[in-house]
């Protein structure tokens, strides 16, 4: 049995869904379970509709709703023909009517709660999975639509719920293997789940990858395939740097690090269930049926390059916390960390001195209440529009000169580094720059560390500019203490959270 997940762009149109059907037909002997995302951009549109309705702009919200409804009906008709799409229409309409009533209610109460948001976003995957299942049937693939909310059980942390693996396994085993025994192809929406008592939840943006891995682990799949719009995991985001190359094989640890630090091609938690059950994961291109993509397994042959890949995570804030005069220095750090704990904040990079602490967090996850609390004991300044650039490679810390080479390259690109973390994880070097500097920094790093011919040594330039660059870079390296956080993992359910393994 294998799990095949198709992302938003892979189901964005009737043509794309036809390609999905062809890909799935080529895997029939492996007993596929198909997990699909909402059609491309639908989740963003649902969020926009919800925000408009919550502001009382009901008409504008319903206008968006109508174009979403048209897109789904048009796609269904193109794929199924007029007659068959008329039989699917009432099922699509049932979800669409629920969505419309919700938007009208939202416009009346004018409050979109996290629980309401999960309910709202669930319609994207419910609609796309219904259409894909029927499109399969019309093409001779014996599909069976499965309601993911009846298989994936999570806690009630709405908008980023954590799977409850025991209950998920129990419910999935009841629903899915009997279908496979009857030679059916289960088709289900990714990203969406429900609490044990049936309240809809979601696994966080991009969470369909995670759904596929959870189902794979729950049912002991032989492999998990993530079909997307690029040729596998690449040496960097090809949108930032067109020279990016496909990574043929990569270890779970390296791939998880890349996903955590911004390689959007995988949801950060995707690999955790796979690691737990040692299930190989493949990242493949749904626009290239012959794609061999990237294989992610426990062990991978060492890379010929120094690093495996470079990532950039945008939308980061740096928070600088400096002990107020008169506050006892002793106990300052403890108070800061206790405040973070009370607000369940999980930070990426931390730099500490005796009386000050800087940390980074995704801006959208930074609780205002934490800042207010820290202001009681410290001067707090927050800088938005920052980004974390991260270079990942196994065994990099055993090789001298690598950090210097990274920071020289950045200095030569004329980019200023704001914070650094090296050492907290054995396999990455990460640092913070301004968001606007990311394309320049990534392209320079990529050209340096992934030359057309692999570098055999850590290259350094010998001209004067290069030396000055190195000196500046080195000064910056030593200017901050370096650290990063990892979340402790205690049991299987917690272990599957969206934090670094």
Contacting positions for ligand ADP (CB under 6 A): 7-10, 37, 206, 228-230, 233-234, 236-239, 263-265, 309
Residue closer to ligand ASP by CB (options 207, 293) is 207
Residue closer to ligand ASP by CB (options 47, 447) is 47
Give the Cα separation of 153 and 151 in Å (integer). Answer: 6
Choose which of 189, 206, 262, 501 interacts with Mg ion (CB under 5 A). Answer: 206
CA dihedral 412, 416, 422, 424 (to 10 degrees): -160
CB 278 within 8 A of CB 232: no
By CB under 5 A, which span of 79-87, 142-150, 203-211, 376-384 interacts with Mg ion?
A: 203-211
Binding partner of residue 38 among ligand ADP, ligand ASP, Mg ion, none, CB cut-off 5 to 8 Å per kind: ligand ASP
Question: Of residues 29-48, which lie at the interface with ligand ASP (CB under 6 A)?
Answer: 37-38, 43
Give the Cα separation of 3 and 217 in Å (integer). Answer: 10
Residue closer to ligand ADP by CB (options 236, 317) is 236
Residue closer to ligand ASP by CB (options 116, 190) is 190
Choose which of 30, 139, 175, 205 interacts with ligand ASP (CB under 6 A). Answer: 205
8 near ligand ASP, judged by CB under 6 A: yes
Question: Of residues 444-473, which lie at the interface with ligand ASP (CB under 6 A)?
Answer: none
Task: Look at residue 85 and give its three-state secondary structure.
Answer: helix
Choose which of 32, 207, 273, 393 interacts with ligand ASP (CB under 6 A). Answer: 207
Q: How near is the Cβ of 118 to Mg ion at its closest, in Å?
A: 18
Query: What one-character-per-residue DSSP string does 331-355 give?
Result: THHHHHHHHHHHTT---SEEEE-SS
Q: How near is the Cβ of 16 to ligand ASP at its closest, in Å?
A: 14
Give the Cα separation of 116 and 351 in Å (integer). Answer: 37
Q: How near is the Cβ of 100 to ligand ADP at its closest, in Å?
A: 26
Contacts (Cβ under 8 Å, ≥6 apart) of 190: 5, 35, 36, 37, 125, 148, 207, 208, 209, 210, 211, 212
273 near Mg ion, judged by CB under 5 A: no
Q: How wide is the angle at C-alpha 51 spanned by C-alphas 192 and 123, nearest 5°?
A: 25
Binding mask 115-134 for ligand ASP (x = CB under 6 A): ---------x----------
Residue closer to ligand ASP by CB (options 212, 306) is 212
Give the Cα separation of 367 and 386 in Å (integer). Answer: 17
CB 446 within 8 A of CB 236: yes
Q: Among residues 5, 9, 2, which one has the least CA distance to residue 35?
A: 5
Q: How near is the Cβ of 163 to ligand ASP at its closest, in Å?
A: 15
Q: How near is the Cβ of 35 to ligand ADP at its closest, in Å?
A: 11
Give the Cα separation of 206 and 136 in Å (integer). Answer: 24
Residue closer to ligand ASP by CB (options 190, 268) is 190
Q: How near is the Cβ of 408 to ligand ASP at its closest, in Å?
A: 37
- How many residues make contact with ligand ASP (CB under 6 A)? 12
Choose which of 9, 122, 208, 430 interacts with ligand ASP (CB under 6 A). Answer: 208
**Computed from CA positions of residues 206, 209, 212, 218, in that sequence, does the dihedral angle turn out positive or negative?**
negative
* Sequence-ordered strand ranges (E) for 306-393: 309-323, 349-352, 356-362, 378-392
Name the residue with the smallest CB distance to ligand ADP: 7
Residue closer to ligand ADP by CB (options 116, 262) is 262
268 near Mg ion, judged by CB under 5 A: no
Q: How near is the Cβ of 214 to ligand ASP at its closest, in Å?
A: 13
CB 157 within 8 A of CB 147: no
Q: Among residues 291, 295, 289, which one has the least CA distance to residue 16?
A: 289
Give 1's DSSP letter: -
Q: How wide is the angle at C-alpha 239 spanned by C-alphas 234 and 240, nearest 5°?
A: 90
Give the Cα separation of 98 and 65 in Å (integer). Answer: 12
Binding partner of residue 309 among ligand ASP, ligand ADP, Mg ion, none, CB cut-off 5 to 8 Å per kind: ligand ADP
Binding partner of residue 236 among ligand ADP, Mg ion, ligand ASP, none, CB cut-off 5 to 8 Å per kind: ligand ADP
Binding partner of residue 239 among ligand ADP, Mg ion, ligand ASP, none, CB cut-off 5 to 8 Å per kind: ligand ADP
Angle between helices 58-109 and 42-54 (to 10 degrees): 60
**Kind plus residue range of the DSSP H or E element containing 37:** none
Give the Cα separation of 150 and 188 in Å (integer). Answer: 10
Choose which of 65, 73, 102, 191 interacts with ligand ASP (CB under 6 A). Answer: 191
Residue closer to ligand ASP by CB (options 38, 230) is 38
Give the Cα separation of 272 and 280 in Å (integer). Answer: 12
Please report, for residues 147, 406, 419, the alpha-carbon distance to residue 68 in angstroms, rounded to integers and kept in the order given.
21, 46, 43
By CB under 6 A, which span of 52-60, 103-111, 206-214, 255-263 interacts with ligand ASP?
A: 206-214
Question: Of residues 300-319, which lie at the interface with ligand ASP (CB under 6 A)?
Answer: none
Task: Look at residue 498 and give its three-state secondary structure.
Answer: coil
Q: How near is the Cβ of 93 to ligand ASP at its closest, in Å?
A: 21
Q: How near is the Cβ of 191 to ligand ASP at its closest, in Å?
A: 4
Give the Cα separation of 226 and 266 in Å (integer). Answer: 8
Residue closer to ligand ASP by CB (options 172, 202) is 202
Beta strands at 294-297 and 249-251: parallel, antiparallel or unpaired: parallel
Which residues of this chain interact with Mg ion, rule CB under 5 A?
Answer: 7, 206
Which residues of this chain interact with ligand ASP, rule CB under 6 A?
Answer: 7-8, 37-38, 43, 124, 190-191, 205-208
């Amino acid at each position: 049995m294998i799990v095949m997940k198709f992302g938003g762009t892979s189901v964005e149109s009737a043509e794309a869904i036809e390609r999905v059907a062809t890909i799935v037909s080529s895997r029939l002997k492996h007993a596929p379970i198909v997990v699909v995302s909402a059609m491309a951009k639908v989740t963003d549109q649902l969020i926009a509709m919800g925000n408009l309705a919550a502001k009382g702009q009901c008409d504008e919200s319903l206008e968006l709703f109508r174009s979403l409804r048209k897109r789904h009906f048009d796609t269904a008709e193109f794929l199924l023909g007029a007659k068959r799409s008329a039989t699917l229409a009432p099922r699509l309409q049932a979800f669409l009517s629920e969505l419309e009533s919700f938007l009208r209610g939202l416009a009346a109460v004018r409050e979109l709660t996290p629980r309401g948001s999960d309910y709202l976003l669930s319609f994207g995957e419910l609609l796309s999975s219904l259409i894909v299942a029927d499109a399969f049937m019309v093409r001779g693939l014996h599909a069976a639509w499965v309601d993911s909310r009846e298989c994936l059980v999570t806690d009630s942390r709405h908008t980023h719920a954590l799977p409850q693996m025991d209950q998920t396994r129990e419910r999935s085993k009841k629903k899915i293997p009997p279908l496979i025994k009857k030679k059916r192809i289960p088709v289900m929406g990714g990203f969406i789940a429900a609490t044990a008592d049936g309240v809809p939840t979601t696994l966080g943006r991009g969470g369909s990858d995670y759904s596929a891995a959870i189902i794979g682990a729950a049912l002991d799949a032989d492999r998990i395939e993530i079909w997307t719009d690029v040729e596998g995991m690449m040496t960097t985001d090809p949108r930032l740097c067109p020279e990016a190359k496909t990574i043929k094989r990569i270890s779970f640890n390296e791939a998880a690090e890349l996903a955590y630090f911004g390689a959007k091609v995988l949801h950060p938690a995707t690999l955790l269930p796979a690691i737990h059950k040692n299930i190989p994961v493949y990242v493949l291109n749904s626009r290239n049926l012959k794609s061999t993509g990237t294989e992610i397994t426990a062990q991978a042959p060492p890379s010929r390059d120094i690093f495996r890949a470079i990532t950039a995570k945008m939308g980061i804030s740096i928070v600088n916390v400096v002990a107020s005069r008169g506050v006892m220095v002793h106990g300052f750090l403890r108070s800061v960390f206790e405040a973070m704990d009370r607000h369940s904040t999980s930070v990426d990079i931390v730099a500490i001195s005796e009386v000050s602490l800087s940390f980074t967090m995704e801006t959208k996850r930074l609780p205002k209440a934490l800042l207010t609390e820290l202001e009681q004991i410290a001067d707090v300044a927050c800088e938005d529009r920052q980004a974390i650039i991260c270079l990942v490679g196994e065994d990099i810390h055993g090789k001298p000169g690598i950090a210097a080479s990274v920071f020289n390259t950045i200095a030569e690109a004329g980019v200023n580094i704001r914070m650094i973390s090296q050492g907290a994880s054995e396999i990455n070097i990460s640092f913070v720059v301004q968001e606007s500097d990311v394309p320049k920094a990534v392209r320079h790093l990529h050209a340096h560390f992934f030359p057309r011919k692999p570098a055999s040594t850590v290259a350094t330039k010998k001209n004067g500019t290069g030396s000055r660059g190195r000196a500046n870079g080195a000064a910056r390296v030593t200017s901050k203490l370096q650290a990063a956080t990892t979340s402790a993992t205690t049991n299987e359910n917690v272990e599957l959270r969206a934090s670094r393994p």
